[in-house]
Amino acid sequence: MQKRTLGKSGLEVSALGLGCMGLSFGYGPATEKQDAVKLIRRAYEQGVTFFDTAEVYGPFTNEELLGEALEPFRGEVVIATKFGFKLENGAMAGLDSRPENIRAVAEAALKRLRTDVIDLFYQHRVDPNVPIEEVAGTVKQLIQEGKVKHFGLSEAGVQTIRKAHAVQPVTALQSEYSLWWREPEQEILPTLEELGIHFVPFSPLGKGFLTGKIDENTTFGKTDFRNTVPRFSEENRKANQALVDLLGRMANERNATTAAQIALAWLLAQKPWIVPIPGTTKLHRLEENLKAAEVELTTHDLQAINEALSHIEIQGHRYSEQAQKMINR
């Protein structure tokens, strides 16, 4: 697995990380613990050194899973986790980035992750009730205390990024970015390049849609959050199939490379400081995704994708109205 560096601080990680949320939360019932541990360890064996989790995934159970799975080789991997939500009775109940909550989340995460330091600590969503300078200052103190190594932001806007970075250098920004959500190209990517902040795209496979395994007839379980996503309505899935068909054609032209591999290879080709974190619950999908790091798209390939995309209009919002309110732009 190739390596990439996050931020000016030189945090080296595998070119593809593993987003672990879906093993415990969000896409239906949690994966059996034994199977989840096996998948995480298999990712490590395949060269993955960057694992992403958060307090709210479960809540808590995803961090505990990573703590157990990664304990045998903790010193060889980078673990990212997140703070910033208010939890009541095991459910998200708004945002909370008050300094006392950031500290409490850090202390609890250290225990669950079975570690003495958090490699990358993201603010999960920007809290409008707490100045970002105060948030950055709190994480700066945690870094000085040796409990955190690097500071990150998730779904933050340009002004928030600049203000935070002035207090404590931001190593990475996490946000959704893929062939069907290219909004970060407008303002986010140029700002990150200017400041030397690196980018970690989540949902690089469009929450599963770009794999080609979802169509207008697919049904989702009751606890699958895609039921709330407008882009996943039956009508919009049918309309958006044109993008998946494009990826499938490109995959066929490249001798049986999957649509998912093309989507991930496209992301890797955008900037040398982009590290996507696809997630999966299946070992064979893990193997397929990681092979994307070996797919090199030529300049001609990239131009062909962009040309084809210019004729495809993606339908549907990427979040529900309520979830969109927590996006800082």
The structure tokens 């039956």 sit at 234
CB 66 within 8 A of CB 40: yes
**CB-CB contact of 243 with 205 (8 Å):** no
85 contact partners, CB below 8 Å, separation of at least 6: 55, 56, 92, 93, 94, 95, 96, 124, 125
Q: Which of 185, 164, 166 lies closest to 175 in space, CA to CA? A: 185
Give the CA-trace dihedral at 207, 213, 217, 223, to 10 degrees.
-40
- Residue 283 to residues 183, 201, 286, 288: CA-CA distances in angstroms? 31, 21, 5, 9
Rounded CA separation 305/179 (Å): 9
Yes or no: say if 163 and 133 are a contact pair by the CB < 8 Å rule: yes
Mutual orientation of helices 33-45 and 283-290 as an angle, nearest 10°?
A: 20
Beta-carbon count within 10 A of 113 CB: 24
CA atoms in the 13 A half-sphere facing the CB of 213: 10
- Please say if 319 is a catalytic residue: no
Distance (Å, rounded) from C-alpha 208 to C-alpha 225? 12
Question: Quick check: bond before 190 cis, omega within 30?
Answer: no
**Catalytic one of 57, 122, 177, 319:** 57
> Distance (Å, rounded) from C-alpha 281 to C-alpha 288?
12
Q: Which residues are known to be catalytic? A: 57
